[in-house]
Amino acid sequence: MCRHLCYLGPPAPLAAWLFDPPYSLSRQSWAPRDMRGGGTINADGFGVGWFPEPAGAPVRYRRATPLWSDTTLPELARATRSGAVLAAVRSATTTMPVVETAAAPFADDGWLFSHNGVVRGWPDSVLALAAELPTRDLVTLPAPTDSALLWALVRHRLRSGAPPAAAAADTVRAVLRAAPGSRLNLLLTDGRTAVATVADHALSVRADGRSVLIASEPLDDDPAWKPVPDNHLLIATTDGLRVEPMGAHA
Ligand code: GLN
């Protein structure tokens, strides 16, 4: 069911999350510890997005192949440093295509976005919601997947002026109304703030006052990792984080 992570803090090589920890994202691509909801490995592509130092729009490296089989990424990940990173490995939901454009992170307007989960009854359950989007957003969806539509829904709310936490929470609520039982762990960052939703899937966070690391599952056995409760929303910056019930962002 995919695994994703987001880091905000002092710059470090991308390998610090992708390869170096005992339960790095690479390890999670072939031996995840928590795959509730189906799937055994995350072999249907991956992506890493990072904000370059000292400034600039996010850069992505994505592939439709397993992270562990990529021979270019280890070198790239040791040479590339960033203080704001969002990365994901994908286990495609049945019927959804295994293509690079379906691999998170999705990126627009200086945001990086990922979805861990599934929209139940896809696509029929959410056709009415999709119809609320500008036609241009629909015809330019990067892939015919639930995750790509979720990003279009969140992005539309951001473009309409909603703060990121409200944009994410409102999207989760709307999709749950249309498609009950969906698993909707969303993760987005503009490089300064990260917002994550927890809707029927695992999420953990580790913060130390200088940095914050949010991940579907802990990258190591550090007791500082805390699980985020279901149906909650996490808003994080490098100097602090808030965990609130999803309903607080109505
Ligand atoms: N349903 C999404 C996709 O197929 C996300 C998959 C997941 O979380 N396993 O792209």
In this structure, the residues whose C-beta lies within 6 A of any atom of ligand 1 are: 1-2, 39, 90-93, 96, 102, 115-118, 145-147
Q: In angstroms, rounded to a whole number, what is the distance separating the alpha carbons of residues 171 and 182?
A: 12
* Contact of 141 with 159, CB cutoff 8 Å: no
ipTM of the complex: 0.95
Q: Given the CA of residue 91, which atom of ligand 1 is nearest to it? A: 9
Report, in this order, helix, strand and coil percent for the chain, each rounded to 5.
Answer: 25, 30, 45
Question: Average pLDDT, whole number, for the chain?
Answer: 94
DSSP run (H or E) holding 154: helix 146-159
Give the tens place of pLDDT for each residue, 122-143: 999 999 999 999 999 999 999 9
| Sheet order of strands, 240-245 included | 106-108, 111-118, 183-189, 194-198, 232-237, 240-245
Which pair of structure tokens corresponds to residue 126? 């959410």
The CA 132 to ligand 1 mean position distance, Å, reads: 22
> Treating both helix axes as pointing N-terminal to C-terminal, what angle do 164-178 and 146-159 enclose, rounded to 10 degrees?
130
Best residue among 46, 62, 93 to mutate for probing ligand 1, ranked by most atoms within 8 Å of CB:
93
The CA 220 to ligand 1 mean position distance, Å, reads: 24
Tens of each residue's pLDDT in the chain, 250 residues: 689 999 999 999 999 999 999 999 998 888 767 655 556 788 899 999 999 999 999 999 999 999 999 999 999 999 999 999 999 999 999 999 999 999 999 999 999 999 999 999 999 999 999 999 999 999 999 999 999 999 999 999 999 999 999 999 999 999 999 999 999 999 999 999 999 999 999 999 999 999 999 999 999 999 999 999 999 999 999 988 999 998 876 5
Q: In angstroms, rounded to a whole number, what is the distance separating the alpha carbons of residues 81 and 53?
A: 7
The CA 135 to ligand 1 mean position distance, Å, reads: 24
Best residue among 5, 115, 182 to mutate for probing ligand 1, ranked by most atoms within 8 Å of CB:
115
- Coil, strand, or helix at residue 146? helix
Per the annotation, the verdict on 6 as an active-site residue is: no
* CA–CA distances in Å: residue 13 to residues 75, 80, 124, 185, 215: 10, 5, 42, 26, 17
Q: Which domains does the chain have, with CATH numbers?
A: 3-249 (3.60.20.10)
